Chains A and B, each alone.
Chain A
Amino acid sequence: MINNNEIKLNNKIYKKKAIENAVNAFSELANFEINSKGDYYLVEVEMINDVDPVALSDEFTNYVLYSMKNI
């Protein structure tokens, strides 16, 4: 879920490699920076074009989940 241009992903659930794959896949739509705080990876998102941040966040999270299957 996106909040203040930040997607919070629980590090006990989501793998960093999967998040990196999603960052690569969405790199044309936004700039990303992965940080870590407590139990969460915080993915800072800076939109490049006129992209709906909520839609991007939803698609991004689904992509991370998809990517987890192949790691």
Chain B
Amino acid sequence: MTKTSENNSLILKLKQDIYPLEAICGASYVFIDKAYIYIDSKKKGEYEVRIKGKEKLTSKKLTEIEGEFMNELLNYVQRLNISKSTGKIREYIVERALYSAVNEEGPAKDDDVLDDPLGIAIPWEEKYGDTNDK
């Protein structure tokens, strides 16, 4: 990662093989209330992220924002990596859970809807009489 800062903004140059676009967009999204974000790719294999303060920022504040952005970016990259590495097992768990649920209950029958073992399907008027009498 390389960085330049000028005119209330800083430009981060990020390698595409380390930082996927999805992670950069995700991290940028977190910062859109604090700063103006512009992403470009002028050079092959590299993304350029310009972070411009919405208000006048000191160089210290810019450095802070840069640090926060890089942390958020790392968080997204890690999340994507975990999501990739556990994708198969997650699919398997959901599949297994759905399969078990169908097996336990069996397929739903139309007759089940008409069954009323607790007697809760009786209309109010039938059970308590006409309530309009006052």
Q: Does B40 contact A (CB under 8 A)?
A: yes
Check if A65 sits within 8 Å of B37, measured CB to CB. Answer: yes
Residues from chain B with Cβ under 8 Å of A66 in the complex: 29, 32
Q: Does B70 contact A (CB under 8 A)?
A: no
Q: How many residues of B contact A (CB 8 A)?
A: 14
Residues from chain B with Cβ under 8 Å of A1 in the complex: 38, 50
- Complex CA gap A12/B47 in Å reads 11
Q: How many residues of A contact B (CB 8 A)?
A: 15
Question: Contact residues of A with B, CB < 8 Å?
Answer: 1, 8, 10, 12-14, 39, 58-59, 61-62, 65-66, 68-69
28 contacts between A and B (CB under 8 A): A1-B50, A8-B40, A10-B41, A12-B41, A13-B25, A13-B39, A13-B40, A13-B47, A14-B39, A58-B36, A58-B38, A58-B52, A61-B36, A61-B37, A61-B38, A62-B32, A62-B36, A62-B37, A65-B28, A65-B29, A65-B32, A65-B39, A66-B29, A66-B32, A68-B25, A68-B29, A69-B25, A69-B29
